Chains A and B, each alone.
Chain A
Amino acid sequence: RKEVEQDPGPFNVPEGATVAFNCTYSNSASQSFFWYRQDCRKEPKLLMSVYSSGNEDGRFTAQLNRASQYISLLIRDSKLSDSATYLCVPLYNQGGKLIFGQGTELSVKP
């Protein structure tokens, strides 16, 4: 089993749609989680941190289910500028090592 599994997509959605990405992780000891977004040919950028059961920031909501080792990202009222690849990233150890998933590609169309 991969350490982090994500649906690669692509998810093609119209502007204004709500879209959800799922992610499962194998390391039950992971305590912190992050969602990064990566635009084509750019560096990954931190979107959201999740330290408890979830987090919400504007149109973005992350939910964590530790029992199922599952984390999700919900994007409401999607914008054209949300088009990117979204990376699910558990914190692997106290040394700061992160494990990056392969990412889910999102394309928001007019």
Chain B
Amino acid sequence: DAGVIQSPRHEVTEMGQEVTLRCKPISGHNSLFWYRQTMMRGLELLIYFNNNVPIDDSGMPEDRFSAKMPNASFSTLKIQPSEPRDSAVYFCASSLVGLAPEQFFGPGTRLTVL
């Protein structure tokens, strides 16, 4: 079975550029979560969706960050414009809320903003 798929796996960009991270959740899961992980702050929840609807975006650091989930099999996290302090590993996870709340994580996107 395919797990959560994220792309790209690594991204290096310059300050001010737009960055788009992509995620395909596990088929059949109804919830999707975006996290960011740094050494200083650990694993932080940015936003999550239930049935493609954003439920809680209180973790999104600022307006430069936006996330969409146009359908059950795809989500994007966009940063525009990017800044060096956005450098982190971004994880996507999915789960079947209501039956099995365990979240399964993708391999992450390692973002470096120069």
Contacts and interface: CB of A to CB of B under 8 A. Distances in A.
B59 to A, nearest CB: 10
Nearest to B3: A43
B106 interface: yes
A23 interface: no
Interface residues of A, number: 19
Given A87-B43, A91-B101, A103-B42, A96 B106 contact: no
Nearest to B100: A49
A58 B14 CA distance: 48
A96 B105 contact: no
Chain B: interface secondary structure? Answer: strand
Contacts of B33: 96-98
Nearest to A101: B42
Interface stretch (B48-56, B62-70, B71-79): B48-56
Chain A: interface secondary structure? Answer: loop
B103 interface: yes
A43 B42 contact: no
Contact of A97 (B43, B48, B102, B108): B48
A22 interface: no
B37 to A, nearest CB: 9
A95 B43 contact: no
Given A43-B105, A46-B102, A96 B91 contact: no
A109 interface: no
B50 A95 contact: yes
Contacts of B105: 43-45
Contacts of A94: 97-98
B31 interface: yes
Contacts of A103: 42
A102 interface: yes
A34 interface: yes
Nearest to B92: A43
Interface of B: 31, 33, 42-43, 45, 48, 50, 55-56, 89, 91, 95, 97-98, 101-108
